[in-house]
């Protein structure tokens, strides 16, 4: 397991050195989007319109933060469950998206897209939302403000700790970790 410091936007070179289980400290801009925002982005593509941001090399964080208190850029901001974005992620990866941040399993189609187009799915710790929220330096709503917590935000993060979950070689950290620790509770 290696550790890397990376800054967005990510390149193919960044992605191909990452292996499932590696720890990444991510800095720079990440965009937030969940179900409702993804539905709108895909609809925009269907209608031949532009996405609210240039997706090439970008990382999308699946999160719907809690409201910011006065003087703070954002509230709590832990990952939401990623499988709900299964229908959308492969299409955006094909357009150049390099990473997704979330929690929980995604589909085989997402794994295939990560391999084909060189992208990674990063796992964050669900429920550690106060810790992540307090590490966000800037936040700005850039699209769909009427969606409230589901609006698309442009975040600036510094050394956001992530685990490489699906790499561009078809490896799956959740499966690997489960295999390694299965059956050991009774022995402990």
Partner 1 sequence: MAEVRDVSVKDVEEAIYKLALEAAYHLPEDILEAEKKAYEREKSPVAKKVLETIFKNVEVSAQEEFPLCQDTGLAVIFLEVGQDVHFTDGYLVDAINRGVERAYKDGYLRKSTCHPLTRENYGNNLPAIVHTFVVPGDKVRIIFDAKGGGSESMSKVQMMKPADGRDGIIKTVVDWVIEAGPNPCPPVIVGVGIGGDFERAAVMAKHATLRKVGEPSPDPVLAEMEQEIYEKINNSGIGPAGLGGLTTCLGVHIEMEPCHIATLPLGINIACHVNRHKEIVL
Beta-carbon count within 10 A of 166 CB? 27
Length of the chain: 188
- Of 34, 38, 40, 153, the active-site residue reads 38
When binding is defined by CB under 8 A, the residue of 5, 43, 56, 72 that contacts partner 1 is 72
Q: Which is nearer to partner 1, 39 or 95 (CB)?
A: 39
Residue 70, preceding peptide bond in cis (omega within 30° of 0): no
User: Should residue 128 be labelled a site residue for partner 1 when binding is judged by CB under 8 A?
Assistant: yes
Question: Judged by CB under 8 A, which stretch of 42-50, 51-59, 79-87, 88-96 contacts partner 1?
Answer: 79-87
129 binds partner 1 per the rule CB under 8 A: yes
Nearer to partner 1, 46 or 181 (CB): 181
Residue 145 as a binder of partner 1 (CB under 8 A): the answer is no
CA distance 178 to 108: 18
SS3 labels along 40-79: HHHHHHHCCCCCCCCCCCCEEECCCCCCCCCCCCCCCCCC
Beta bridge partners of 102: 123
The span of 8-16, 50-58, 92-100, 143-151 binding partner 1 (CB under 8 A) equals 143-151
DSSP 108-175: HHHHHHHHHHT-EEEE--TT-HHHHHTTEEEEEEEE-GGGGGGSEEEEEEEEEEEEEEE-TTS-BHHH
Is 3 near partner 1 (CB under 8 A)?
Answer: no
Q: Is 92 annotated as catalytic?
A: no
Residues 23-62, mask of contacts with partner 1 (x by CB under 8 A)? ------------xx--x-----------------------
The smaller minimum CB distance to partner 1, of residues 118 and 165, is found at 165
120-123 and 99-102 strand pairing: parallel
> Residues interacting with partner 1, by CB under 8 A?
35-36, 39, 63-69, 72, 75-78, 80-81, 83, 103-105, 123, 125-131, 133-134, 147-150, 161, 163, 173-174, 176-186, 188
């Amino acid at each position: 397991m290696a550790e890397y410091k990376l800054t967005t936007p990510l390149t193919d070179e960044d992605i191909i050195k990452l292996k499932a289980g590696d720890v990444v400290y991510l800095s720079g801009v990440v965009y937030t989007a969940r179900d409702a925002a993804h539905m709108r982005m895909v609809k925009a593509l269907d209608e031949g319109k532009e996405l609210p941001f240039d997706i090439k090399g970008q990382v999308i964080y699946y999160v719907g933060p809690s409201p910011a208190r006065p003087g703070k850029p954002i509230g709590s901001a832990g990952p939401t469950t990623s499988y709900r974005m299964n229908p959308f992620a492969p299409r955006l990866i094909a357009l150049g998206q390099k990473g997704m941040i979330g929690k929980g399993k995604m589909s085989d189609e997402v794994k295939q897209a990560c391999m084909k187009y060189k992208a990674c799915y990063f796992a964050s710790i669900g429920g550690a939302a106060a810790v992540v929220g307090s590490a966000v330096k800037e936040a700005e709503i850039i699209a769909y403000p009427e969606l409230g917590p589901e609006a698309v935000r442009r975040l600036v993060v510094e050394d956001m700790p992530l685990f490489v979950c699906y790499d561009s070689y078809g490896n799956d950290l959740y499966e690997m970790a489960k295999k390694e620790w299965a059956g050991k509770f009774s022995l402990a």
